[in-house]
Structure 1
């Protein structure tokens, strides 16, 4: 079967790059990294194979760009959520967590795409380095939000780091299971569990921000302790 081919159109460099990244991600999600050949990527994006080298230098660079777009895109959703809240540190942390545990971040296709890259992350030092940068970008944002909480006394940087690692692990686990087994969770349940669990790690209450859980926004909302 021939891969689906988009019609050739004259477009901007940015749009061409985005089309190549999207094509790479779609092929990896559908058939794993081995499905994302140069020819298949070009056909899916509606460009000639030579444009991959023109815009990215090599297929490996395109692979790294596609992976970066995936993981940094999920971090960006959390950062975007902060623009819609005030200065209250607990509210900001809750908004960041909630954005990480609901669609479009929680998504079976995103998990499939992420899993498709795992083997390459271990075998490609450059991709591993990019993975580390993206991981630290999310964890550092989380640590900064945790550091802003008023817990009655200054918290040492090393403790903040350990707390961010632990909270990140909880969020990652909920994201993974919630994306793959979405039918096993009630609406908003991932967010409720995430807020309660991160709050327990930090010794604070984050479940008193029901505005981040749609079905709990009414006056009779019931949330986890």
Structure 2
């Protein structure tokens, strides 16, 4: 294929590449500077782009931050889905893989934690971020409920157990990223594995 023939296809994909570069730059700025430091100028500079490009693709910094929140959450969800897919068909293995993935890269990452903290800081200040937060955690818990159901946990107990597992994972993940010297990823997995065994074996 000639260069001239390939050029139009390249130009069609270029806007998506530029949009993604702004989102990734926004995530880095949020991790480094927090939500208060995520200005249009700072993000554009990080991306090596013009300030006007942010307005062109997102209309402003608020929409860019929201798009970045969605993008980061999707990356986490993809990592969880991959872990479950690689675990095989056994329900208990799939449940464990879903939970244990939070204690290994790319989820157990200090930069990801810093970005996530910036998002959390906006939950009480912005209704759109609060809505995203609620939707994302609802999807996470729904996935957990389905995996717990596959392990024989009755319907009446799934929601309660999903909330408990989510709280356990969040707490261990936070401490593992913030203070990795306090305990190891292996210890986090052992703690989570023991809790999963207790709720799937009792069925209550």
Short-chain TM bin: 0.7 to 0.9
Q: State the secondary structure of the residue aligned to 1:103.
A: coil
The separation in 1 between residues aligned to 2:105 and 2:40, in whole angstroms, is 31
Q: State the secondary structure of the residue aligned to 1:122.
A: coil
The separation in 1 between residues aligned to 2:180 and 2:74, in whole angstroms, is 22
Contact 1:102 1:190 in 2 (8 A): no
Quote the residue 1:212 is aligned against.
none
Correspondence for 1:194 among 192, 199, 204: 192
Q: State the secondary structure of the residue aligned to 1:185.
A: coil
Residue 173 of structure 1 and its aligned partner are, at CA, apart by: 0.8
Contact 1:85 1:92 in 2 (8 A): yes
Quote the residue 2:166 is aligned against.
168
Runs of 4+ in 1 over 6 A off after TM superposition: none
* RMSD, aligned α-carbons: 1.8
Correspondence for 2:91 among 89, 92, 100: 89
Does residue 36 of the first structure (1) align with residue 38 of the second (2)? Answer: yes
Residue 132 of structure 1 and its aligned partner are, at CA, apart by: 0.9
The separation in 2 between residues aligned to 1:78 and 1:92, in whole angstroms, is 10
Residue 163 of structure 1 and its aligned partner are, at CA, apart by: 1.1
Residue 187 of structure 1 and its aligned partner are, at CA, apart by: 4.7
Contact 2:30 2:118 in 1 (8 A): yes
Correspondence for 2:118 among 111, 116, 125: 116
Residue 32 of structure 1 and its aligned partner are, at CA, apart by: 1.1
Query: Runs of 5+ in structure 1 lacking a partner?
Result: 1-9, 205-225
Contact 2:25 2:43 in 1 (8 A): yes
Residue 119 of structure 1 and its aligned partner are, at CA, apart by: 2.5
Higher fraction of helix: 2
Quote the residue 1:207 is aligned against.
none
> For residues 1-225 of structure 1, what are the structure 2 equivalents within 5 Å?
12-150=14-152, 155-156=154-155, 158-203=156-201
How many residues in Structure 1 have an aligned counterpart in Structure 2? 191
The separation in 2 between residues aligned to 1:199 and 1:16, in whole angstroms, is 46
Query: Runs of 5+ in structure 2 lacking a partner?
Result: 1-10
What TM-score does the superposition give when structure 1 sets the normalisation length?
A: 0.79
What TM-score does the superposition give when structure 2 sets the normalisation length?
A: 0.86
Contact 2:27 2:68 in 1 (8 A): yes
